[in-house]
Amino acid sequence: MTGLERSRILVVDDEEAILETMTYTFQDDYEVFTSTSARRALEILDEHRPFAVVLTDQRMPDMSGVEFMAEVRRRHPHTVRMILTGFSDVEAIIQAINDGHVYAYVTKPWEPEQLKQLMKQAVAHHRLRAENEKLLADLQSANYMLRAVMDQLDTGAIAVDADGIVQAVNRPARKFFEIEG
């Protein structure tokens, strides 16, 4: 992600006034999408991916926030999920958090500065996760290349990491030590 690209967030609530407030709160920092319907929100997620964060109301007409988050998790597991609630759905929210479906929940009425800070943390969490996955993929690729290059050597070679753990053994060394694989 370049410095010019803004993270996308999606806010889902059946109350237009809430969506307007959220858009106003976050528009300077993020590309904000909104939906009054969980079903339409799923379409938006699919059409405009990737999203860093989805913030949804718990009580909506077509599906609950927890149900919606379960579907978001299934379709877009890397998107950070947060629930907004003004009702006492604490059991459902705690269950969603414990099951790993949501990063956080926010109670209505919320404090705008706290919500902005929480959103900033959620977006940073999303970026860190993406960066870690890229680094892991790069490391796996480098290890694959190391093994391929080592196997071209005529002499036995063993690659050991800084902790002394064997990371790769080439064909001549496997043959010498009578190691299968």
10, 54 Cβ separation under 8 angstroms: yes
pLDDT at 2 over 50: no
pLDDT at 14 over 90: yes
What is this structure's pTM? Answer: 0.75
pLDDT digits (tens, 9 = 90+) for 127-163: 999 899 899 988 888 888 887 888 888 898 988 889 9
pLDDT at 89 over 80: no
Q: What is the mean pLDDT of residues 21-50?
A: 96
Concatenated DSSP letters of the chain: --TTPPPEEEEE-S-HHHHHHHHHHHTTTSEEEEES-HHHHHHHHHHS---SEEEEES--SSS-HHHHHHHHHHH-TTSEEEEEESS--HHHHHHHHHTTS-SEEEESS--HHHHHHHHHHHHHHHHHHHHHHHHHHHHHHHHHHHHHHHHT-SS--EEE-TTS-EEEE-HHHHHHTT---
Q: What is the mean pLDDT of residues 32-55?
A: 96
Confidence of residue 78 (pLDDT cuts 50, 70, 90): very high
Mean pLDDT in the chain? Answer: 88
